[in-house]
Structure 1
Amino acid sequence: MANVSVDELGFSPKQGVNWSNYLACRPVYQASFFGRIFDYHAQKPEATWSVGHDVGAGCGIVSSTLAARFNSVIVSDPNDGYVTLAKKLLVEEASLPESKFTFLQEPAEESSVETGTVDLIAACECMQWTNPSAAISEFSRQLKAGGTLAITYYVRPLIDGSERAQDAWKGVWATHSNRARGEVYDRAFRTVNTALENLEFPEDKWQAVKRVYINSRGDVNAFVMNDLIAERKVKEGEEKIWVEDDKEWIDAKDIEWFKAYLATWVPSIPETEMQEVWDELELALDGKKVEIRTPVVMIFATKKAQFI
């Protein structure tokens, strides 16, 4: 969706996310990101490319790339207005054929998608908002035997090369996370703080589970935002891969970008209510750009064939 205008996206407070800012400031899913997903799926002898499902699709960022590989794509999200916006961007702005998509406003935990009909499910940057065990069970129901589940999450970036700037940036997020309290936010933190290691894949339904950690310096603590930690449920036999210095998740940014980036996260906190921590970061940056490195986790799993 790189060519889609982000100036007028029909945002309203009811939607909860300002997608103009989101698309302008959040990391772009680059070729290696989708390459890892498609390579995992393609390695299976039984792999087919009929139906892809973008769960928690938001404005359809992932859907547009799935559409280049799959005959049809399901675009689902539980939030008011999101799939309507996704349809506008994918069909009206990007000129993709409407017949290629099915748009559904519904949650990850309970879908109207028919059982055993989906080849690949992508759940990107959304599992923290779900009941993970219920969602993963629902994904198993939808997938064909041998189908692929790809779950991904990137956390806030880390600053390299300046300990003072990183400490100040950490202070910004500490202030933000202290304001983001309540059942929904606490559940989300418990998931992301484990680098999604609280997600469990029952062995009677899933196989070939692979967890890929990118730019985390070999440490899942790179994902920790505060002190809320869920139980880790990584099983013996699950493959772990560590990828460092992935340049597609490395950039250089200035103070204005840091402020705009934080504004894409919920809850939105006015700059004036965090002035002290922003002032410290601005002093640490001293008018310069600094290198940022975004930690990413990607989880892949294959739906087991059910034998009677």
Structure 2
Amino acid sequence: MTSALVSMSSTNLTGKKFAFSARRGVDWSNYLAYRPVYPQSFFERIYNYHTQKAGVAWSVAHDTGAGCGIVSSVLASRFDSVTISDPNDGYTKLAREFILEKTLFPESKFRFLQETAEKSSVESDTVDLITACECIHWTTPDIAIKEFRRQLKAGGTLAITYYTRPLIGANERAVRAWKAVWDAFSKKHRARMSSTAYEIANAALESLEFPEDDWEALKRIYINAQGTLDGFMLDDRVAESRVKESEEKVWVEDEDWCDTCGIEWLKGYVATWEPHFQESEIQYIWDELERALEGKQVKIKTPVVMILATKRA
């Protein structure tokens, strides 16, 4: 891939070093190579929202569900200290290695915690910004959101974000084949994957509720969605919307979340999803997609949703 979504693998990091076995979880070497990198505009949307609040501070950020620390490493350039938490075995250890090799920040700038979003050891009323990127659908959201509120200072910012699989454009045959890939994935893993996680993700996080007594200035930003949630839907499981009339909705098209790619990148991207889907299981679909592409690159765009909220004093 090229342009704004350049892969983390273009750094000096050794992919093999950041790989996990299937028993331990995500293969982060594939994730770093084939998932889109959060562009600067992603962080600027969060920072601009945060800056607009009275008494804004840049002291402590908490990146929950941090994985190997991709978002955390960027937050460190704006905040005095960053707490990095993830419930999965080994992930925070990996985040420490990843961040200390990728950045010039001292280890003292970071705090690493292996714990869930629903129950954290982070002290109450101490955090200026909490990010939960690509993880809220794996939690019990109502409990996690209450926990985020406990940690935040009054006026602090919560940013919950999710991106789904990229969409292919300007090639109807390739669009049909790409959809068939995801239909096959969803059908095979329907019984294995959490129904709740699918319902939340398919609804573009609209099922997440933010009580008005606890939160204010709630803003939902839909990127590359073209005014509909269809691009987020992997199957027919969709949670009920809890969006309130008082919440602001913004629909934007953002080229920073667009790129061009070929068949090998598309295969690599699918391989980052869990449970792992063997290429050979749908070889006939991949063959059709390859024929549709005719050896050429195709433009893709990634639908993204960002929820920004302020803890009410």
Question: TM-score with structure 1 length normalisation?
Answer: 0.96
Name the Cα RMSD after superposition. Answer: 1.3
In structure 2, the residue matched to 1:295 is: 303
**CA offsets 1:220-255 (integer angstroms, 9 cap, x no match):** 1111110111111000110000102x1111111111
Q: CA deviation at 1:162?
A: 0.7
Partner secondary structure for residue 18 of structure 2: coil
Cα shift at 1:10: 4.8
Assess if the C-alpha contact under 8 Å between 1:186 and 1:228 holds in 2: yes
- Percent identical pairs in the alignment equals 60
Counterpart in 1 of 2:285?
277
Alpha-carbon distance in structure 1 between the residues aligned to 2:192 and 2:172: 33
Provide Cα deviations, 1:119-165, integer angstroms capped at 9, x if missing partner.
00000111111111111111011100000000111110111101111
Would you say 1:249 and 2:257 are equivalent positions?
Answer: yes
Deviations 1:6-37 (A, max 9, x none): 42225233331111111111111111000000
Query: Which of 200, 208, 226 does residue 199 from structure 1 map onto?
Result: 208
Question: In structure 2, what residue type is equivalent to 1:126?
Answer: C
Alignment counterpart, residue 268 of structure 1, candidates 276, 286, 292: 276
- Counterpart in 2 of 1:48? 57
Partner of 1:233: 242
Unaligned residue ranges in structure 1 (runs of 5+): none
Distance 1:267 1:17 in 2: 9
SS at match of 2:194: helix
Aligned with residue 60 of structure 1, among 69, 76, 86:
69
Contact 1:6/1:23 (<8 A) preserved: no
Give 1:275 shift: 1.2
Structure 2 partner of 1:106: 115
Residue 179 of structure 2 corresponds to residue 170 of structure 1: yes
Match of 1:160 among 169, 172, 176: 169
Whether the 8 Å CA contact 2:203–2:229 is kept in 1: the answer is yes
Of 58, 61, 79, 1:70 maps to 79
2:5 aligns to what?
none
Distance 2:101 2:13 in 1: 11
**Partner Cα distance (1:156, 1:275) in 2:** 19
Written as runs of structure 1 = structure 2, the 5 A alignment for 1:63-142 is 63-142=72-151
Q: Which residue of 2 aligns with 1:14?
A: 23
Of 52-61 and 11-20, deviating more is 11-20
Question: Any unmatched runs of 5+ in structure 2?
Answer: 1-7
Measured after TM superposition, the shift of residue 284 of structure 1 is 1.2
SS of the residue corresponding to residue 260 of structure 1 reads helix
The two structures have a TM-score, normalised by structure 2, of 0.94
Q: Distance between the aligned counterparts of 2:120 and 2:272, measured in 1?
A: 27
Contact 1:215 1:296 in 2 (8 A): yes
1:31 to 17, 40, 54: 40
Distance across 2 between alignment mates of 1:207 and 1:4: 42
Structure 2 residue 13 is the aligned partner of structure 1 residue 5: yes
Determine which of 123, 137, 158 is the counterpart of 1:149.
Answer: 158
Indicate if the aligned counterparts of 2:68 and 2:98 stay in contact, CA closer than 8 A.
Answer: yes
SS at match of 1:123: strand
Aligned-pair CA distance for 1:282: 1.2
1:57-116: CA deviation from partner (whole Å, max 9, x where unpaired): 000000011111111100000011111000001124434211001100011111111111
Distance 1:15 1:23 in 2: 17
**CA spacing shift, 1:157–1:98, aligned 2, 3 Å:** same
Say which is worse superposed, 183-192 or 109-118, in terms of deviation: 183-192
How far apart, CA to CA, are the structure 2 residues paired with 1:93 and 1:211? 31
The residue that corresponds to 2:232 in the other structure is: 223
